[in-house]
């Protein structure tokens, strides 16, 4: 019998490693993987970085790979409700037994090495993908790129989705510095796909790819995506490139910003086709998007979880994500907008509150998720340009929800946004525990 008798004990131990903070280097992960026999060499990978959109792109790429018939792994972070959301193969979460066995086996090495939560989780994911004889694993970076624990991979394709100000204490306070950190995933002689980025980032990525002899593809130059019909549960779209011209595909996710993610995903798949001699047919791409939620356990991206009352959960957790809300709401029919908002104190929460202010919500309820980095709701309120009776503070998500229930009217819409942790706390409430669409 190992040190940990069950799954809950293991998870408690793993989350306890968060106290060590973020280890932004490759020393620990390299040591852990060497101890395991370097499992990351036993599968092919697609490595995806970016400030926003990497979850959407990773989910879609893995979904199409599954539809093609490959044993496909997916590693993303953070999770919303279940730790096992982070690691799965062919749409099935990593087993609790594997986690217990892994943590017990690695415990002496963990004590010796002193890894962070993310480092040991990354090692676990790579070991699991090897154990499951995964053909391809789609791996999302946790933070940055250059020194992110996932950057020990030698992928077949790399990709960077978007660049915005985020994690400034590790990545720098300018787009130039952040782009340089993200560019660290570009490997020698390995093609890289770049999503919707500005001129500054574009120049940096072009230079890095040239230095690495890496073929670079800007997805916006390869694909045109057109939305033909939007609804509250997703949208139909056409895609066009030099090699593809498909009509009326469907993605079960609202939000026009997904057009950029679709372009990036398809350019990754085309690059993978060239590199690996794989043919992705229309039916596989169409099914990959249609079955995105089921295949990749993808949720929380401006997702309608209840029609009566109308409730949307949105894990946008930085300014770039918050800026998309106005456009996303155009797909919804409602009378008044009510927002429950909480954000981490290391994000651009003042600028994000300003964006929310422009939405003319009936109420913005500022609150605080149960997480150590959460911004104080009083600081959020202080960021409002012009205060009136439409702004309130509630000390936790439960109280925020109770207040919402007292002020909502028929045909109002509630948007819960600002943090993965906020959405998690909201979905754990008794009212919503079993309501999320799967």
The pLDDT profile of the chain, 438 residues, written as one tens digit per residue, is 568 999 999 999 999 998 765 666 799 999 999 999 999 999 999 999 998 899 999 999 999 999 999 999 999 999 999 999 999 999 999 999 999 999 999 999 999 999 999 999 999 999 999 999 999 999 999 987 888 999 999 999 999 999 876 544 555 558 888 898 899 999 999 999 999 999 999 999 999 999 999 999 999 999 999 999 999 999 999 999 999 999 999 999 988 889 999 999 999 999 999 999 999 999 999 999 999 999 998 889 999 999 999 999 999 988 988 999 999 999 999 999 999 999 998 888 899 999 999 999 999 999 999 988 899 999 999 999 887 779 999 999 999 999 999 999 999 999 999 999 999 999 999 888 777 544
Provide the pLDDT for residue 20. 60
Angular region, 418: left φ>0, alpha ψ -120 to 50, beta rest? left
Give CA–CA dist 291/51, Å, rounded.
25
Alpha helices in 75-229 (DSSP H): 96-113, 117-131, 168-171, 175-182, 199-211, 219-222
Helix (H) / strand (E) element for 378: namely: helix 377-382
Domains in the chain and their CATH numbers? 7-296 (3.40.1190.10), 303-427 (3.90.190.20)
Give the CA angle between residues 59, 424, 102 to the nearest 5°. 65
Q: What is the pLDDT of residue 430?
A: 83
Q: Note the helical H segments in 161-281.
A: 168-171, 175-182, 199-211, 219-222, 258-276
Tokens of 205: 């990525």
The residue written with tokens 């754990």 in the block is 428
Name the pTM for this structure: 0.93
Q: How far apart are the first and last CA of the chain?
A: 36
Give the pLDDT of residue 144: 76
**If residue 426 lies in a helix (H) or strand (E), which one and from where to where?**
helix 420-427
Per-residue pLDDT, 433: 78
User: What phi and psi, each to the nearest 5 degrees, are found at residue 50?
Assistant: 145, 155
The full DSSP string for 184-196 is GG--TT--EEE-S
């Amino acid at each position: 019998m190992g040190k940990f008798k069950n799954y809950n004990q293991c998870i408690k131990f793993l989350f306890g490693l968060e106290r060590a903070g973020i280890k932004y280097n490759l020393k620990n992960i390299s040591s852990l993987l060497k101890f395991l026999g370097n499992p990351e060499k036993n599968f092919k990978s697609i490595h995806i970085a970016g400030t926003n959109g990497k979850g959407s792109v990773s989910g879609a790429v893995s979904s199409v790979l599954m539809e093609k018939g490959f044993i496909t792994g997916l590693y993303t972070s953070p999770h919303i409700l279940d730790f096992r959301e982070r690691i799965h193969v062919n749409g099935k979460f990593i087993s609790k037994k594997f986690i217990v066995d892994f943590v017990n086996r690695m415990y002496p090495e963990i004590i010796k090495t002193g890894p962070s939560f993310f480092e040991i989780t990354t090692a676990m994911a790579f070991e699991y993908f090897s154990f499951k004889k995964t053909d391809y694993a789609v791996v999302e970076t946790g933070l940055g790129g250059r020194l992110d624990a996932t950057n020990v991979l030698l992928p077949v394709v790399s990709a960077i989705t978007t660049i915005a100000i985020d994690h400034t204490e590790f990545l720098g306070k300018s787009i130039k510095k952040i782009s340089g950190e993200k560019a660290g995933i570009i490997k020698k002689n390995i093609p890289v796909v770049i999503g919707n980025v500005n001129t500054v980032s574009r120049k940096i990525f072009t230079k890095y790819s040239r230095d690495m002899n890496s073929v670079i593809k800007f997805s916006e130059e390869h694909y045109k995506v057109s939305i033909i019909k939007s609804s509250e549960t997703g949208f139909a779209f056409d895609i066009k490139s030099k090699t593809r011209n498909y009509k009326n595909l469907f993605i079960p996710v609202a939000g026009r910003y997904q057009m950029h993610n679709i372009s990036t995903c398809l350019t990754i798949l085309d690059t993978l086709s060239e590199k690996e001699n794989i043919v992705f047919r229309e039916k596989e791409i169409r099914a990959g998007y249609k079955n995105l939620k089921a295949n990749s356990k993808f949720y929380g991206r401006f997702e309608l979880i209840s029609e009566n009352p109308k409730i949307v959960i949105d894990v946008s957790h930085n300014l770039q994500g918050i800026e998309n809300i106005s456009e996303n709401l155009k797909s919804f029919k409602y009378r008044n907008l009510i927002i429950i908002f909480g954000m981490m104190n290391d994000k651009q929460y003042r600028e994000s509150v300003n964006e929310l202010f422009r939405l003319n919500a009936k109420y913005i309820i500022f609150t605080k998720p149960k997480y150590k980095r959460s911004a104080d709701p009083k600081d959020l309120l202080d960021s409002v340009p012009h205060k009136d009776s439409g702004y309130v503070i509630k000390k936790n998500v439960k109280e925020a929800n109770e207040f919402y229930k007292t002020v909502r009217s028929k045909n109002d819409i509630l948007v819960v946004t600002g943090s993965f942790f906020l959405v998690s706390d909201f979905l754990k409430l008794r009212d919503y525990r079993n309501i999320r669409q799967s």
